[in-house]
A and B are shown apart, each in its own frame.
Chain A
Amino acid sequence: MAASAFSEDRDFDFRADAATPPFLHVPIMTSATLHSDATRQQADAWRRQTSLRRFYTALGVGLLLVAMCATMWFADEANAGHFFDRLPHILDFLSWLVPKDWNDVWRALFDIASPSDKGTQEFNFPLGRVYVWGGFYIPEYFELMLTTVNVALVSTFIGFVFAVPFSFIAARNLTPSPILRLIVKRFMELLRAFPEIVIAGLFAAIVSIGPVAAIIAIGLHSIGALGKLFYEINENIDMRAEEGLRAVGANWFERVRFADLPQVLPNFMSYTLLRIEINVRISTIMGAVGGGGIGEELKLSISRGFGAKTLAMVLLLFVTIFLVDQFSAWLRRKLVGEQAFLMSA
């Protein structure tokens, strides 16, 4: 009886770590076989195992702490300003952020003329208006935000369109040819690991700096990222439908289209929506390094210390990302249920 409990402990790795609190010793003490040598030996072995485990845990945590302190020191040394030097001034940097007139934030957001406008760039809100129809205009930051979101959407679309066929080729159980599978898999790995910023830089030199280079960069990265998730889904599908179609002589395209795609499409969509969330963030960052959109303007505004403009953009960005996240979460819940939110370990 006790033996079975111990063997269970071995299977059940992390329990061994948890099973030593004083109040859990009780079952062992009342065990009828307590005095047999075999049991005592087992108990000793178990205790040794536990203490070894604890030692390793302590060692691991200790090493982690040492690494943390070392990296903190390194990061602080390498930084232009040091942490404890700058800490007292951290509120100074917040002080420029607080506008003299809070209404300027709204004015900046909607490009309404501000009374504090003295002809400087800090308050020239109406200059950014993008007129579309007579007196009707889109405020500058909304237009820029739209660019950023469009970059994310188009690049996710590119990623999706290429990742779907690639994922069927790269899935172990569906691949038309093992060699092709290897090539496609490696290719997707390369796309995923390749720094987006380099692709963006390369294409900025070819198609000119701006959103198109960002689309290409994020799109290529999305192919790799989505492709990997997709083929992992493909490898877990139910193969009976595929076998049925194979039995009636369907070719590879027909099998993929009618047996496999219907099974995986909801999951594909769910991951694509997740990718949209990520890509909105990346396209903002890409904007800051020349990819167009709100990132660039935000970077300028922060570096020049324009409080109202910065706050307006942060607000807009925050609301947009929040809305995109919530919408995508809602849609994913509709598509695949709660399952989409359990991260697989």
Chain B
Amino acid sequence: MAMTASELSAIEDRHPQIFQRPAYKRFWPLLLIAGTVLYLAYALWFFSLPQVLRESHWERLPLFLSQWISYDLQPEFRLDQPEITPKYPRFSALGEHPDPDWVIKNPDGTFTVLIDGRDKSVTFDKVRATIVANGQTVPVSLTGGKPVVTGPVPDWVTVHDDEIVAKMGFVGEVRVTVDRVKVRKRFLGWANFVFDTRSPFFGKSTGEVISLIASGPELRPGTSNLALAADNIWNNAQWQHGDVWTKLLQTIVMAFLGTLLGGIVAFPLAFFAARNITPSGLLGQVLKRFFDFMRSVDMLIWALFFTRAFGPGPLAGSAAIFFTEIGTLGKTYSEALENIDDKPREGVLSTGANGILVQRYGVLPEVVPVFISQTLYQWESNTRGATIIGAVGAGGIGLKLWEAMRTNSNWANVFYMVLLTLLVVFIFDNISNFLRRRLSRTLHDYNRLQAAQV
């Protein structure tokens, strides 16, 4: 349905505020976009982003991510010794006496390592190796002083001067030189999550462990098997369950204690800062600037100072959150107080009640739900924040996370801690949401009643 020109201009005439807006109003979005683009160009230069991206190693990303949920074993086979024997790294996930079923010593003296069944495997002795993968078989001769592929070289095999590398995707890789064969085999999952290799329960199936605990002979005389198992799990050297859980509890405690203490201190101060409750403008201004100061001195600065004052640990973290929260909660509390309805207060005042009673019965019922709701909200966000400030030494799981990441080798541990953190954040979000929903129902009733009265 097309409109005629006169109809169009009639509409334009009727709504001049839409069709003939002042120039600055018409162009400010354009200016904003232009400004943003200019700023981004500047940021690109400031962070020398092209160079950083050029020098970054994006190929590491899938590797790191796969390390979050998997582990690898790297047996090495020396070929220059009289007899070929598999060697495992000292702290491999297989324990002290590794005898995996995927390393097969054939009757004819050759070794076969199954990387992903027979389809991806390597078979070798001192003179030749045969790599099988992707439906192709690659024979490698090791006699000429350097490894040589006899026949065509598929694209998953790279031939270096003295080494042949066969990449088999996620499951692993094979590296062959004249004097050794190195295999990396990757397994999905977390190795030794329950019992580490030193534990007497290591390598036993769930059923065996349960029956040992229930009715087995004491593995360590003087301790019950249940206590021993619990101790072994708690002190698992690789996963450090005990330490991780303690640190996690520290993070929770830091957020809880900091927010609670902040609320307790901010609560009375807010009454003095609210301009409708305390007539003295000077005191209010001083307190409000004090709140601004506590908020503006970053949580990081408080954390660093208290780490120096109390030493690293949750005490420093709690104190940092406490000091920041005095500012944040003081500000929000006093704003909530300034927005109350004055009528109940006047009513109580008119009965001749004294100052404290007026606050108690005329003000408090109105603001307590708001206060609690805001405190819960801060608690929630501090639970996340406590993870970060932990990394500067203020206690909790943050530092542990940071240390596990710095070595770039412990990504599975990192993921374990991340999962626990996510779980904690999730649980606490839900608790706080539940409590706030209940409170907001109260608030809602209050608002509805007020609306009905007007």
Contacts of A153 in B (CB 8 A): 39, 43
Contacts of B256 in A (CB 8 A): 67, 71
Which of A23, A212, A345 meets B373, CB within 8 Å? A345
Task: Please tell me if the beta carbons of B52 and A284 are within 8 angstroms of each other in the complex.
Answer: no
Task: Please tell me if the beta carbons of B298 and A317 are within 8 angstroms of each other in the complex.
Answer: yes
Q: A274-304 vs B: 1/0 string, CB under 8 Å?
A: 0000000110111011000001001100110
B-facing residues in A41-76 (Cβ within 8 Å): 64, 67-68, 71-72, 74-76
Given the interface contacts A75-B253, A80-B313, A206-B57, does A342 sit within 8 Å of B339 by beta carbon? yes
Residue B398 lies at the interface, judged by CB distance under 8 Å to chain A:
yes
B109 vs chain A, min Cβ distance (A):
43
Q: B353-391 vs A: 1/0 string, CB under 8 Å?
A: 100010011001100111001100100000010011101
Contacts of B250 in A (CB 8 A): 74-75, 78
Complex Cα distance A153/B47, Å? 12
Complex Cα distance A204/B368, Å? 44
Given the interface contacts A75-B254, A78-B250, A157-B40, does A195 sit within 8 Å of B301 by beta carbon? no
Residue B316 lies at the interface, judged by CB distance under 8 Å to chain A:
yes
User: Among B303, B304, B368, which residue has the most Cβ atoms of chain A within 10 A?
Assistant: B304
Given the interface contacts A74-B249, A205-B60, does A215 sit within 8 Å of B47 by beta carbon? yes
Contacts of A127 in B (CB 8 A): none
Complex Cα distance A205/B256, Å? 33
Complex Cα distance A138/B177, Å? 55
Complex Cα distance A194/B373, Å? 24
Residue A132 lies at the interface, judged by CB distance under 8 Å to chain B:
no
Complex Cα distance A288/B253, Å? 22
Complex Cα distance A332/B140, Å? 70
Given the interface contacts A284-B298, A342-B339, does A150 sit within 8 Å of B405 by beta carbon? no
Task: Please tell me if the beta carbons of B445 and A13 are within 8 angstroms of each other in the complex.
Answer: yes
Binds A, one of B72-80, B119-127, B421-429: B421-429
Task: Please tell me if the beta carbons of A78 and B246 are within 8 angstroms of each other in the complex.
Answer: yes
Contacts of B316 in A (CB 8 A): 79
Residue B446 lies at the interface, judged by CB distance under 8 Å to chain A:
yes
A326 vs chain B, min Cβ distance (A):
9
Task: Please tell me if the beta carbons of B357 and A21 are within 8 angstroms of each other in the complex.
Answer: yes
Which of A21, A150, A208, A317 meets B55, CB within 8 Å? A208
Task: Please tell me if the beta carbons of A202 and B405 are within 8 angstroms of each other in the complex.
Answer: yes
Complex Cα distance A17/B241, Å? 46
B interface with A by C-beta (< 8 Å)? 36, 39-40, 43, 46-47, 49, 52-53, 55-58, 60-61, 64, 246, 249-250, 253-254, 256-257, 260-261, 292-293, 295-301, 303-305, 308-318, 332, 335-336, 339, 351-353, 357, 360-361, 364-365, 368-370, 373-374, 377, 384, 387-389, 391-392, 395, 398, 401-402, 405-406, 408, 414, 418, 421-422, 425-426, 429, 436, 439-443, 445-446, 449
Task: Please tell me if the beta carbons of B405 and A201 are within 8 angstroms of each other in the complex.
Answer: yes
Closest 7 CB pairs of A and B: A79-B313, A80-B311, A81-B311, A201-B405, A79-B315, A207-B56, A18-B365
Complex Cα distance A24/B365, Å? 15
Given the interface contacts A12-B445, A153-B39, A345-B436, does A289 sit within 8 Å of B301 by beta carbon? no
B174 vs chain A, min Cβ distance (A):
26
B-facing residues in A324-345 (Cβ within 8 Å): 325, 341-343, 345
Residue A229 lies at the interface, judged by CB distance under 8 Å to chain B:
no
Which of A146, A322, A343 meets B292, CB within 8 Å? A322
Task: Please tell me if the beta carbons of A302 and B36 are within 8 angstroms of each other in the complex.
Answer: no
B394 vs chain A, min Cβ distance (A):
10
Can you list 15 A-B contacts with CB-CB less than 8 angstroms, sorted by A residue number?
A: A11-B449, A68-B257, A75-B315, A75-B395, A193-B426, A195-B421, A206-B61, A284-B298, A284-B300, A302-B305, A318-B297, A321-B298, A322-B296, A325-B295, A343-B377
Residue A111 lies at the interface, judged by CB distance under 8 Å to chain B:
no
Contacts of A318 in B (CB 8 A): 293, 296-297
Which of B53, B309, B418 meets A90, CB within 8 Å? B309
Given the interface contacts A64-B260, A74-B249, A197-B401, does A14 sit within 8 Å of B300 by beta carbon? no
Given the interface contacts A15-B365, A21-B361, does A193 sit within 8 Å of B446 by beta carbon? no
Task: Please tell me if the beta carbons of B296 and A325 are within 8 angstroms of each other in the complex.
Answer: yes
Task: Please tell me if the beta carbons of A79 and B253 are within 8 angstroms of each other in the complex.
Answer: no
Smallest CB gap from A269: residue in B? B32
Residue A196 lies at the interface, judged by CB distance under 8 Å to chain B:
yes
User: Among B254, B299, B300, B440, which residue has the most Cβ atoms of chain A within 10 A?
Assistant: B300
